[in-house]
């Protein structure tokens, strides 16, 4: 594999990225979006470059997990992304907008006494600690494609358990139609993309999905990756892995799971609803307003950061599992 030196037409030029100073005033930010007709302004989600050398410190402190690979998800049509590349190239907005700096910025995340509150419209509300998440629910490994809305992709071997096990544990009532995930937030620990913390961004980070989507066997809660516990930059100790949706739907460092009767507000859909839909299924035929989704840049197995251009697959290649949800 080799670096793509001439950017394809669907790659967003660096000049189109909005400077971080825009975020100091959300009203200015929203006004800027309107004045540019959306096309000239973009949150710093976009940008697919990294720095070398890769640093093994990015996976320091993880603990091995004894799990079995689920044979139904044992391989995909491309190699697993090199672990250090995946660990040093992250979107985790609570820790900034520079992908290659997230693994260092996330080090202060306190995960030792983690609790996940599960409630809302359920018959059996519960609070799970780390021990519950790794022992109460049978863990397995699944190799999933990961597709970012920015048009790059990876393959990650997640360790965790199907989301439907949580559904069975708490028994949602018939009134529950959606689920909302809330991520950890403390402005002293998770300052967001600006310093000092930006009060205009809708933190804590929230994401959501329909309860039927959560019940699908593909929907997965990850507590690890690459055979060990999650590094903090991947959303330790619990994150959502929903492989047929764009990556921003995968809430990280989850502290609350709520079953609700109405579609919940979510972080990116609240900020730019015209660009980041609530559903956000991977679809090559539905372009982002500012770039095509028909192609993706796949990050492969090499120890250096290298791209291969590939066609985007509808539902990220998982249509046989999920297409019936959207008929």
The predicted pLDDT at position 55 comes to 83
What pLDDT, on the 0 to 100 scale, is given for residue 200?
80
pLDDT, averaged per 10 consecutive residues of the chain (327 residues), comes to 32 34 34 34 39 79 95 96 96 95 97 97 97 93 98 98 98 98 96 72 96 98 98 98 98 98 97 95 97 96 89 98 96
pLDDT of residue 14: 36
pLDDT at 306: 87
CB-side neighbour CA atoms (13 Å) of 274 = 11
Q: Are 93 and 205 in contact (CB under 8 A)?
A: yes
- The predicted structure's pLDDT at residue 197: 58
Instruction: Supply the pLDDT for residue 95.
Output: 96
Q: Say which CATH topology domain 18-326 has.
A: Sulfite Oxidase; Chain A, domain 2 (3.90.420)
Exposed/middle/buried for residue 314 (C-beta within 10 Å: 0-12, 13-18, 19+): middle
Whole-angstrom Cα distance, residue 199 to residue 201? Answer: 6
pLDDT attached to residue 16: 34
Q: Is 302 exposed, middle or buried (0-12, 13-18, 19+ CB in 10 A)?
A: middle
Q: What is the pLDDT, as a whole number, of residue 196?
A: 59
């Amino acid at each position: 594999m080799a670096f793509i030196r001439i950017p394809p037409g669907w790659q967003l030029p660096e000049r189109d990225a909005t400077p971080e100073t825009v975020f100091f005033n959300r009203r200015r930010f929203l006004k800027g979006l309107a004045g540019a007709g959306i096309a000239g302004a973009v949150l710093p989600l976009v940008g697919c470059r990294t720095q070398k050398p890769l640093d093994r410190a990015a996976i320091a402190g993880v603990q091995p997990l004894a799990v079995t690979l689920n044979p139904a998800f044992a391989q995909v049509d491309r190699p697993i992304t090199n672990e250090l590349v995946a660990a040093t190239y992250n979107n985790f907005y609570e820790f900034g907008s520079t992908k290659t700096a997230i693994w260092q910025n996330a080090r202060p995340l306190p995960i030792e006494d983690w609790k996940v509150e599960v409630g809302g419209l359920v018959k059996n509300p519960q609070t799970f600690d780390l021990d519950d998440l790794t022992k109460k629910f049978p863990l397995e490994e699944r190799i999933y494609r990961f597709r970012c809305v920015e048009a790059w992709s990876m393959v990650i071997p997640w360790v965790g358990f199907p989301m439907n096990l949580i559904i069975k544990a708490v028994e949602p009532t018939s009134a529950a139609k959606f689920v909302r995930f809330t991520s950890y937030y403390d402005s002293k620990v998770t300052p967001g993309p600006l310093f000092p913390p930006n009060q205009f961004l809708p933190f804590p980070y929230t994401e959501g999905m329909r309860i039927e989507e959560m019940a699908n066997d593909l929907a997965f809660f990850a507590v690890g990756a690459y055979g060990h516990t999650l590094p903090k930059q991947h959303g330790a100790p619990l994150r959502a892995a929903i492989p047929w949706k764009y990556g921003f739907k995968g809430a990280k460092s989850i502290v609350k799971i709520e079953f609700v009767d109405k579609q919940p507000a979510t972080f990116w859909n609240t900020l730019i609803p015209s660009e980041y839909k609530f559903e956000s299924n991977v679809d090559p035929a539905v372009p982002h307003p500012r770039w095509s989704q028909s192609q993706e840049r796949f990050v492969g197995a090499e120890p250096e950061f290298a791209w291969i251009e590939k066609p985007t697959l509808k539902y990220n290649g998982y249509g046989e599992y999920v297409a019936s949800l959207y008929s």
